[in-house]
Amino acid sequence: MNILVLNGPNLNLLGLREPELYGREDYAALERFIRAAAQEAGAAVTIRQSNFEGELVTWVQQAHGVFDGLVINAAAYTHTSVALLDALKAVRLPAAEVHLTDIDAREPFRRVSYAGMACGAHFKGLGFEGYRRAIRWLCGL
């Protein structure tokens, strides 16, 4: 299984941004965790992060025919990006949505997930562990 993991805006600031919500570990620690989780599952993984919506959309489009599935934490674009939703629907790859926090228990505007509408599984509020579960879910399909 070849998996693309996409992380959206501000995830590169893990450890700095609201550590009481997102934890004190930095983005490098998240990448190490994801790589270890993929190795445990016997999967290959490519990890990308961008603060730019168009770049994330392009990576989703380019995943078609290259990857077997994807994990997406669209971060703030979760709640605003119909473009990401459309790209995910267009490529028709199995996709899992991940959020470090439980977006359903936060502000009302965070409870809408456009990207999540194209995902077959959702892992919210589990911190880094959500990525492991998403990878395992994809490997189990």
Amino acid at 99: H
User: Which residue is catalytic, options 22, 77, 114, 131?
Assistant: 22
Residues 70-95: b if buried by 16+ CB within 10 A, e if exposed: bbbbbbebbbebebbbebbeebebbb
Q: Quick check: is 131 catalytic?
A: no
Q: Quick check: is 99 catalytic?
A: yes
User: Which residue is catalytic, options 77, 99, 114, 131?
Assistant: 99
In angstroms, rounded to a whole number, what is the distance separating the alpha carbons of residues 86 and 37?
A: 28
Catalytic residue IDs? 22, 99
